Chains A and B, each alone.
Chain A
Amino acid sequence: MLRYILQRLILIPILLIIFSIMVFALVQAPPGDFLTSYIATLASTGSSLNQETIAMLEHQFGLDQPVHIQYLRWMQNLLRGDLGLSLEYQLPNAELIADRLGLTLILALFAFVFTWVMAIPIGIYSATHRNTILDYLVTVVNYTGVAIPNFMLALILMWFAYSQFGLSVTGLFSRDFEQAPWSIAKGIDLLKHIWLPMIVIGLAGTARLTRVMRANLLDELNKPYMVSGRARGLSEWQLVMKYPVRLAINPLVSTIGWYLPELFSGSLIVATVMNLQNIGPLLLRSLINQDMYLAGAILMIYCFLAIIGTLISDILLAWLDPRIRMEKA
Chain B
Amino acid sequence: MVTQTHPLVKPAGDLTREPLLRVEDLKAYFFMDEGIVRAVDGVSFDVMPGKVVGIVGESGCGKSVTMKAILQILEAGAKIVNGKVTLRSRIHHGDPNSAEELIELTHLHPNSRQMRRIRGAEIALIPQEPMAAFSPVHTVGNQIMETILLHQDVSKKEARRIAIDVFRAVGISMPEQRIDSYSWQLSGGLRQRAIIAMALSCNPRLLIADEPTTAIDVTTQAQILKLLRKLQEERQTSIIFITHDLGVIAQMADEVVVMYLGMVMEKGSAMKIFKDAQHPYTQALLRSIPSVQSHPRVKLPTIAGSIAHPFNRPKGCPFHPRCTHFMRGVCDASQPHLVEVDEDHFVSCFLYSEADGTKKMNKTDAAPAKEESL
Q: Is A232 an interface residue (CB 8 A)?
A: yes
Chain A contact residues, majority secondary structure: helix
B93-123 vs A: 1/0 string, CB under 8 Å? Answer: 0000000000000000001000011111100
A289-329 vs B: 1/0 string, CB under 8 Å? Answer: 00000000000000000000000000000001111001000
> Of the candidates B71, B135, B182, which one forms a contact with A231 in the assembled complex, judged by CB atoms under 8 Å apart?
B71
Q: Measured between C-beta atoms, what is the minimum distance from A204 to chain B in Å?
A: 30
Complex contacts, B348 vs chain A, CB 8 Å? none
Q: Is B127 an interface residue (CB 8 A)?
A: yes
Q: Measured between C-beta atoms, what is the minimum distance from A228 to chain B in Å?
A: 4
- Would you call A233 and B116 a contact (CB within 8 A)? yes
Q: Measured between C-beta atoms, what is the minimum distance from A10 to chain B in Å?
A: 30
With A227-B133, A247-B135, A247-B137 as known contacts, state yes or no: A232 contacts B146, CB within 8 Å.
Answer: yes
Complex contacts, A322 vs chain B, CB 8 Å? 136-137, 182
- Would you call A235 and B137 a contact (CB within 8 A)? no
With A233-B119, A247-B137, A250-B137 as known contacts, state yes or no: A228 contacts B150, CB within 8 Å.
Answer: no
A247 to B134, CA, bound (A): 12
- Would you call B133 and A235 a contact (CB within 8 A)? no
A225 to B137, CA, bound (A): 12
- Would you call B132 and A323 a contact (CB within 8 A)? no
- Pairs across A and B, CB under 8 Å, 21 listed: A224-B129, A225-B132, A227-B133, A230-B71, A230-B73, A231-B124, A231-B127, A231-B208, A232-B119, A232-B124, A232-B146, A232-B150, A232-B198, A233-B116, A233-B120, A233-B150, A235-B111, A242-B138, A247-B137, A323-B136, A326-B185
- Would you call A224 and B128 a contact (CB within 8 A)? yes
A223 to B128, CA, bound (A): 12
Q: Give A residues with C-beta under 8 Å from B.
A: 223-225, 227-228, 230-236, 242-243, 246-247, 250, 320-323, 326
Q: Is B191 an interface residue (CB 8 A)?
A: no
Complex contacts, B136 vs chain A, CB 8 Å? 247, 322-323
Q: Is B125 an interface residue (CB 8 A)?
A: yes
Chain B contact patch, size range:
20 to 34
> Of the candidates A223, A230, A242, which one forms a contact with B132 in the assembled complex, judged by CB atoms under 8 Å apart?
A223
A235 to B150, CA, bound (A): 10
Q: Measured between C-beta atoms, what is the minimum distance from B73 to chain A in Å?
A: 4
Complex contacts, B184 vs chain A, CB 8 Å? 323
- Would you call B73 and A231 a contact (CB within 8 A)? yes
Q: Measured between C-beta atoms, what is the minimum distance from B125 to chain A in Å?
A: 4
- Would you call B125 and A231 a contact (CB within 8 A)? yes
With A232-B198, A243-B135 as known contacts, state yes or no: A227 contacts B73, CB within 8 Å.
Answer: yes
Q: Measured between C-beta atoms, what is the minimum distance from A254 to chain B in Å?
A: 13
> Of the candidates B117, B195, B208, which one forms a contact with A233 in the assembled complex, judged by CB atoms under 8 Å apart?
B117
